[in-house]
Amino acid sequence: MQHLDPRQCDERLAQLDFSKDLFHLALDLAAEDVRGCTDMDAPPMRGTMFWSRSNRFLAEQLIPLGWERTSRDSILRMIHPDRTHAVTAISAAGGVGNLDARVRSKNPKGPKMAKIVENNGQFVLMTKDEVRWGRELDEMPTWCLLYKRDENGISAELSLPVKMNGAYVDEWIERIPLDLPDLGDPGFDVALLDDPGDGEGPQVMVEYLGG
């Protein structure tokens, strides 16, 4: 996999109409909200809130720029105005932001996510969602804002998945590390599920992978 220097990373993000500032703000605001949780909240609250708020704050920045939001199949996606690609934020495990290390989705995913991931490698042009999107929604290349919360803070990368082995997204066409400023205490708890599945298949607690 090609390693990009910081300037090349910024240029590649710009080609996709993204920026490090976009992702930094979304994750920073999500972390701030999570810090408001207490032991009086439901046990999975911190993890679920971080996932939900990361996607919410991406949406709040991108919608004024013409992007559209969908939560179909419980997968929170922002759709580019030109329908060329989409983005969703999910938690990850492994060497997030380190291209020399393997990385995968932290939590298991179901058949809906598997379809999206596999279609990323096909770039099919004929679609079934032409009335709404101009092409089939699940066949738009869907980038993942991967984030990892641990005792060292938050690390992140923007990556394009192409395959799931078992229940985890773990093969990628492209990975763009995001060297983000310190986001402070992420309110981390590695025992918690950070994002739900797509409504199909078993949902189980998973083992944490060290960086």
Calculate the CA dihedral of residues 199, 204, 205, 206 and round it to 10 degrees: -100
| pLDDT tens-digit series, residues 104-163 | 998 888 888 888 888 776 654 444 565 566 677 877 899 999 999 877 788 999 999 998
DSSP state of 202: -
Return the pLDDT at 84.
93
Distance of CA 75 to the CA centre of its chain: 10
Show Cβ contacts of residue 195 under 8 Å, excluding neighbours closer than 6 positions: 47, 48, 51, 90, 91, 106, 107
Show Cβ contacts of residue 163 under 8 Å, excluding neighbours closer than 6 positions: 117, 118, 121, 169, 170, 171
| pLDDT tens-digit series, residues 67-100 | 999 998 889 999 999 999 999 999 999 999 998 8
